[in-house]
């Protein structure tokens, strides 16, 4: 009995040792194809982030996804997608994710208000938000006394609404409260529910990200009043944010991630330039499935947003404007800059936007 | 009391049995009693006999299994304001003031408020509750609560007052005082009273006639006529002798196992 | 702060009540004694309340300093935010905390009154009529264990932004009141029914003059329990969406933009409102049960 136990133990030790040695040796052998583990968060059904979907798909790249091809081992702690950018920031704070796709305004809001240390390494899209209105509203000022649906106060769409109202001498208040003659009322509605809110006349206007703006227009729930690009040409919308500590310890991972993301953007550009083909069809399928809409809506959306990863000249200017607006509106207390040892908005944005990762791979 | 007086309550061949798990329980059997108008009758019996059941049947709260109960010659079919009842545990409506408790039956009759007020004033005065009209039962002592109970029963001007061990929940001193008060009220109103008690002393002190019951099933064992002048002296030797006699009757009954 | 006085008022009366359960034959004679007791009990209670809150604040303060995270502001920061929220309109909502409180309260009162208007008659009927009780009880027993908050998403989709939160409170208050009223009807002392019958009361008299008043303290118990649940429901419901704002929306909005000091200020307001209404209800409940001689 004792002998057989001894033999079993020896065999077990040998097997485990051999297995361990194999793993160690094989990873040494395979230095070229190193894997990078990364946890990613993103918004639910936001077509702005379609390049991320394309980079994750195996079929569109003929077998292995662009992320995998670049050695990235992606995990998604919340696969259904976060409801808004604020929640993506919370996921950063909770250390659930290393890389997040979200609108630049919520990234600014929460990184300052809650001291969540993130950096922005690339843009995802510019423009691509729309104000959709019921019949009879022809100007923004016609919205006085009306109710508009927004995805939430931390969204870029809400900031857009606040800026538009200020530019038109109007004020914004929560729906159902007492306003004056110049008040436009808002109510928070998830973008996927905005069409229903318009159809049932609970709101007379809505401001959403794509594809929901196009969906409302194409379904006849409302008419287009304006695109965000009409007012803010080339304004940055969604960005890729990375936890600063993760980026500093894993620069390779961030770079490989950006590489795959750039390839996905190029793939989409190529496919849409061609206008047909296997890749094109697959991208359309992915986009409709991801956003829960149809091909017509997706095509309209693609036309009205600019998928662009590059951090251009006016990128930081716009981010400074967003930050300053939030401070002026009172959503970010002025003391928050000083709390983080920034002298002014420019200094903060310079520290927030880190282009070296993109430059390394682009 | 005299032969010339009018008969008000006639109970004939009364029987009451309750269904039980195995068979039935006979509470009262072969019970016959007549009560004259203005008479004060005490019904005395060992605890657990059918005293309360008897009173509830007169009130109409319980139905006899067989036999008849007639009030002023009319068979009793249901409860009615012509029989006022006073309960051992007072049974006052706790959310009503003294006055509102007393006016309960008058409200049921839809009597106008002013008229109700006049009647309740009269009975509040009669039972000595002046100054407590607006008090609630929780503010009153036990004796005062029962004064309200008596006033409430009388306010309906019933033909007969049914009292179910009304002073059983009171301490001895209050009890003696309440007995005197009751006699005063009785002498003023000359109501017929059927009074249930298990206290021989109380029965002898109050009643014109004391009806001693057997243990279950209850029948009449003996009826004692008490002819002592009121107010009665509890220390009087003849009072004590009578008390002793009734007590021994009762004890011989109580010592017997229930049948 | 008059609001603070309101919070402690019921505690004061509580002490009057607990020392005053004996039979008050002459109310006037007891008065000076009552005052002394009221003062002692009041001060003692205030002392413990202050001590308890002070301990809590110290722990909170220490924790917020130790953790040093923007997610847990210090009590001082929350107090500043609280004061500011009452004085200046919120930059996101465009209204002050007063407006948010009024919006929540309005919703609360409508849902609450609606629940009473339905639970009380149904409870009385289910308690009084054997048939109605046997038909109704299984339905109530099936629905009662469902947490009212679980209804919120459904109510919001089906009834919209106005009625969703109101109905959430309605459900929260409905069941405690309903079960307590049924229980109250079943608890009516048979002696009182007998007494009323010997006074000539008909069945409808019994219902109106005995059964209904008897159940009022039970109703109050149900209301007190329901109020506590009601505040949980309203915050949950408002967070899903409500027209006209409310403290729930206030909290959610502050969380969304990361103003956690203001978010905690909203939570303090909910705590105060809950305490205020439940204490007020307990006070009424105690008064009613005293009036009932319980």
Looking at the complex, report in whole angstroms how far the Cα of residue A175 sits from the nearest Cα belonging to chain C: 5
Share the mean pLDDT of chain C: 81
Q: Long-range contacts of range C145-154, CB-CB < 8 Å, 24 or more positions apart? A: C148/C172, C148/C175, C148/C229, C148/C232, C148/C233, C149/C232, C149/C233, C149/C236, C149/C237, C152/C233, C152/C236, C152/C237, C152/C240, C153/C240
Contact residues, chain B, for C26 at CB < 8 Å: none
Residue C77 in tokens = 């920061």
pLDDT at A49: 87
**pTM, rounded to two decimals:** 0.74
Looking at the complex, report in whole angstroms how far the Cα of residue C230 sits from the nearest Cα belonging to chain A: 21
Q: Is B128 exposed, middle or buried (0-12, 13-18, 19+ CB in 10 A)?
A: middle
Residues A38 and A24 in one domain: no
Best mean pLDDT range from A80-94, B144-158, C165-179: B144-158
Q: What percent of chain A has pLDDT over 90?
A: 42
Question: How would residue C93 be classed by pLDDT, with cut points 50, 70 and 90?
Answer: confident
Residues in contact with A33: Cβ distance below 8 Å, sequence separation at least 6, in sequence order = A71
Query: Could C293 and B138 be called an inter-chain contact, meaning their C-beta atoms sit closer than 8 Å?
Result: yes
Residue of C nearest to A113 (CA): C258
- What value, to the nearest 5°, has the Cα angle with vertex A39 and ends A125 and A284? 45
Residues A289 and A352 in one domain: yes
Residues A1 and A90 in one domain: no
Residues A305 and A351 in one domain: yes
Residues A245 and A357 in one domain: yes
Tally C-beta pairs within 8 A across A and C: 78
Among the candidates A195, A211, A231, a domain finishes at A231
Strand partners, A183: A171
Owning domain of residue A6? 1-28
Residue B13 in tokens = 């061949």
Within 13 Å and on the Cβ side, how many CA atoms surround C83? Answer: 6
What is the average pLDDT across B179-194?
91
Residues A247 and A261 in one domain: yes
pLDDT at A34: 76
Q: Can you tell me which residue has the tokens 């048939």?
A: C131
Looking at per-residue pLDDT, the higher value among A278 and C11 belongs to: A278
| Residue A106: how many other CB atoms lie within 10 Å | 28
What is the average pLDDT across C197-225?
89
Query: Could A153 and C253 be called an inter-chain contact, meaning their C-beta atoms sit closer than 8 Å?
Result: yes
Looking at the complex, report in whole angstroms how far the Cα of residue A127 sits from the nearest Cα belonging to chain C: 22
Q: How confident is the model over B199-232, as pLDDT tens digits?
A: 999 999 999 999 998 888 888 888 999 888 888 8
pLDDT at A122: 93
Rounded-to-integer distance, Cα A277 and Cα A279, Å: 6
Q: Would an 8 Å CB–CB cutoff place C208 in contact with chain B?
A: no
Residues A226 and A245 in one domain: no
Q: What percent of chain B has pLDDT over 70?
A: 96
Q: Long-range contacts of range C34-42, CB-CB < 8 Å, 24 or more positions apart? A: C38/C12, C40/C15, C41/C12, C41/C14, C41/C15, C41/C16, C42/C8, C42/C11, C42/C12, C42/C15
Q: How confident is the model over A115-174, as pLDDT tens digits?
A: 899 999 999 988 889 999 998 888 999 999 999 999 888 888 999 999 899 899 999 998
Query: Could A113 and C259 be called an inter-chain contact, meaning their C-beta atoms sit closer than 8 Å?
Result: yes
Residues A23 and A51 in one domain: no
Looking at the complex, report in whole angstroms how far the Cα of residue C273 sits from the nearest Cα belonging to chain A: 20
Q: How confident is the model over B8-49, as pLDDT tens digits?
A: 999 999 999 888 887 788 888 889 999 999 999 999 988 777
- What value, to the nearest 5°, has the Cα angle with vertex A114 and ends A111 and A117? 45
Split into its structural domains, chain A has a count of 3
Q: How confident is the model over B47-101, as pLDDT tens digits?
A: 777 888 999 999 999 999 999 999 998 999 899 889 999 999 999 999 899 999 9
In angstroms, how far apart are the furthest CA atoms of chain C? 74
pLDDT at A84: 83
Share the mean pLDDT of chain A: 87
pLDDT at A24: 58
Question: What CATH number is attached to the domain comprising A184?
Answer: 3.40.190.10
Residue C6 pLDDT > 60, yes or no? no
Query: Could C213 and B95 be called an inter-chain contact, meaning their C-beta atoms sit closer than 8 Å?
Result: yes
pLDDT at C37: 60
- Contact (Cβ atoms closer than 8 angstroms) between residue A60 and residue A98: no
Q: How confident is the model over B76-86, as pLDDT tens digits?
A: 989 988 999 99
* Interface predicted TM-score (ipTM) of this complex, two decimals: 0.89
Residues A155 and A139 in one domain: yes
What is the average pLDDT across C234-261?
84
Rounded-to-integer distance, Cα A31 and Cα A35, Å: 9
Q: Would an 8 Å CB–CB cutoff place C3 in contact with chain B?
A: no
Residues A357 and A270 in one domain: yes
Q: How confident is the model over A37-70, as pLDDT tens digits?
A: 999 999 888 888 889 999 998 888 888 899 998 8
Q: How confident is the model over C47-82, as pLDDT tens digits?
A: 888 899 999 999 999 999 998 887 899 999 999 999
pLDDT at B85: 94
Rounded-to-integer distance, Cα B218 and Cα B31, Å: 8
Query: Could A115 and C70 be called an inter-chain contact, meaning their C-beta atoms sit closer than 8 Å?
Result: yes
Residues A287 and A348 in one domain: yes
Within 13 Å and on the Cβ side, how many CA atoms surround A5? Answer: 2
Within 13 Å and on the Cβ side, how many CA atoms surround A242? Answer: 26
Contact residues, chain B, for C212 at CB < 8 Å: none
Residue B256 pLDDT > 80, yes or no? no
Residue C180 pLDDT > 60, yes or no? yes
Q: Would an 8 Å CB–CB cutoff place C190 in contact with chain B?
A: no
């Amino acid at each position: 009995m004792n002998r057989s136990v001894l033999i079993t133990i020896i065999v077990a030790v040998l097997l485990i040792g051999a297995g361990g040695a194999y793993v160690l040796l094989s990873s040494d052998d395979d230095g070229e194809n190193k894997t990078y583990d990364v946890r990613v968060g993103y918004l639910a059904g936001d077509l702005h982030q379609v390049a991320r979907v394309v980079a994750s798909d195996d079929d569109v790249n003929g077998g292995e996804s662009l992320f995998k091809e670049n050695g990235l081992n992606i995990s998604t702690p919340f696969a259904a997608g976060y409801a808004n950018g604020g929640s993506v920031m919370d996921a950063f704070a909770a250390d659930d994710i290393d890389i997040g796709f979200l609108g630049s305004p919520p990234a600014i809001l929460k990184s300052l208000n809650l001291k969540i240390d993130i950096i922005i390494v690339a843009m995802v899209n510019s423009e691509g938000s729309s104000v959709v209105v019921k019949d009879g509203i022809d100007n923004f000022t016609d919205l006085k006394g009306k109710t508009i649906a927004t995805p939430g106060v931390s969204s870029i769409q809400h900031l857009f609404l606040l800026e538009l109202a200020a530019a038109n001498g109007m004020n914004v208040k929560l729906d159902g409260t007492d306003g004056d003659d110049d008040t436009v009322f808002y109510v928070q509605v998830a973008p996927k529910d905005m069409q229903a809110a318009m159809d049932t006349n609970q709101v007379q206007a809505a401001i959403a990200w794509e594809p929901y703006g196009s969906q409302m227009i194409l379904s006849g729930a409302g008419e287009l009043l304006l695109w965000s690009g009409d007012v803010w040409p080339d304004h940055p919308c969604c960005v890729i944010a990375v936890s600063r500590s993760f980026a500093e310890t894993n620069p390779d991972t961030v770079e490989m991630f950006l590489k795959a993301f750039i390839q996905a953007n190029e793939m989409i550009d190529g496919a849409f330039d061609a206008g047909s083909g296997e890749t094109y069809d697959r991208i359309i399928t992915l986009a409709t499935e991801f956003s829960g809409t149809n091909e017509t809506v997706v095509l309209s959306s693609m036309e009205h947003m600019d998928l662009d990863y590059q951090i251009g000249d006016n990128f930081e200017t716009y981010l400074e404007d967003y930050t300053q607006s939030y401070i002026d509106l009172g959503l970010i207390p002025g003391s928050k800059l000083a709390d983080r040892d920034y002298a002014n908005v420019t200094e903060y944005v310079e520290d927030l936007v880190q282009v070296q990762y993109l430059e390394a791979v682009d | 009391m005299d032969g010339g007086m009018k008969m008000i309550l006639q109970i004939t061949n009364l029987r009451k049995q309750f269904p039980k798990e195995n068979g039935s329980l006979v509470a009262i059997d072969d019970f016959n009693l007549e009560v004259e108008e203005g008479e004060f009758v005490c019904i005395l019996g060992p605890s657990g006999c059918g005293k309360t059941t008897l009173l509830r049947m007169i009130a109409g709260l319980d139905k006899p299994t067989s036999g008849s109960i007639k009030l002023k010659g009319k068979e009793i079919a249901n409860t009615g304001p012509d029989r006022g009842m006073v309960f051992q545990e007072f049974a006052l409506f706790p959310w009503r003031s003294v006055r509102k408790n007393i006016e309960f039956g008058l409200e049921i009759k839809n009597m106008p408020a002013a008229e109700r007020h006049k009647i309740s004033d009269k009975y509040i005065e009669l039972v000595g509750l002046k100054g407590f009209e607006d008090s609630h039962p929780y503010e009153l002592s036990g004796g005062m609560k029962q004064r309200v109970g008596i006033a409430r029963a009388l306010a309906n001007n019933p033909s007969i007052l049914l009292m179910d061990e009304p002073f059983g929940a009171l301490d001895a001193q209050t009890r003696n005082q309440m007995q005197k008060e009751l006699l005063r009220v009785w002498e003023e109103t000359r109501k017929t009273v059927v009074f249930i008690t298990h206290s021989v002393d109380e029965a002898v002190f109050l009643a014109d006639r004391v009806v001693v019951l057997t243990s279950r099933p209850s029948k009449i064992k003996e009826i004692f006529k008490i002819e002592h002048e009121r107010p009665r002296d509890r220390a009087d030797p003849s009072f004590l002798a009578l008390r002793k006699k009734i007590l021994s009757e009762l004890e011989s009954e109580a010592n017997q196992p229930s049948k | 702060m008059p609001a603070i006085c309101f919070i402690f008022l019921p505690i004061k009366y509580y002490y009057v009540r607990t020392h005053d359960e004996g039979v008050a034959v002459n109310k006037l004679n007891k008065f000076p004694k009552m005052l002394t007791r009221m003062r002692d009990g009041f001060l003692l209670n205030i002392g413990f309340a202050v001590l308890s809150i002070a301990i809590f604040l110290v722990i909170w303060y220490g924790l917020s300093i130790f953790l040093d995270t923007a997610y847990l502001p210090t009590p001082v920061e929350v107090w500043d935010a609280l004061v500011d929220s009452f004085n200046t309109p919120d930059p996101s909502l465009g209204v002050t905390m007063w407006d948010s409180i009024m919006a929540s309260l309005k919703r609360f009162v409508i849902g609450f009154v609606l629940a009473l208007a339905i639970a009380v008659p149904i409870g009385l009927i289910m308690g009084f009529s054997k048939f109605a009780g046997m038909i109704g009880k299984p339905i109530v027993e099936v629905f009662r264990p469902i947490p009212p908050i679980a209804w919120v998403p459904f109510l919001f989709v089906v009834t919209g932004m106005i009625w969703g939160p109101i109905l959430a409170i309605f459900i929260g208050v409905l069941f405690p009141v309903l079960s307590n009223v049924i229980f109250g009807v079943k608890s009516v002392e048979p002696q009182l029914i007998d007494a009323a019958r010997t006074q000539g009361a008909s069945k409808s008299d019994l219902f109106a003059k005995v059964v209904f008043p008897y159940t009022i303290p039970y109703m109050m118990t149900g209301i007190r329990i329901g109020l506590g649940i009601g505040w949980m429901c309203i915050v949950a419901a408002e967070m899903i969406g409500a027209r006209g704002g409310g403290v729930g929306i206030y909290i959610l909005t502050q969380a969304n933009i990361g103003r956690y000091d203001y978010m905690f200020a909203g939570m303090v307001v909910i705590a105060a409102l809950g305490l205020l209404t439940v204490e007020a209800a307990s006070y009424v409940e105690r008064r009613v049960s005293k009036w009932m001689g319980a």
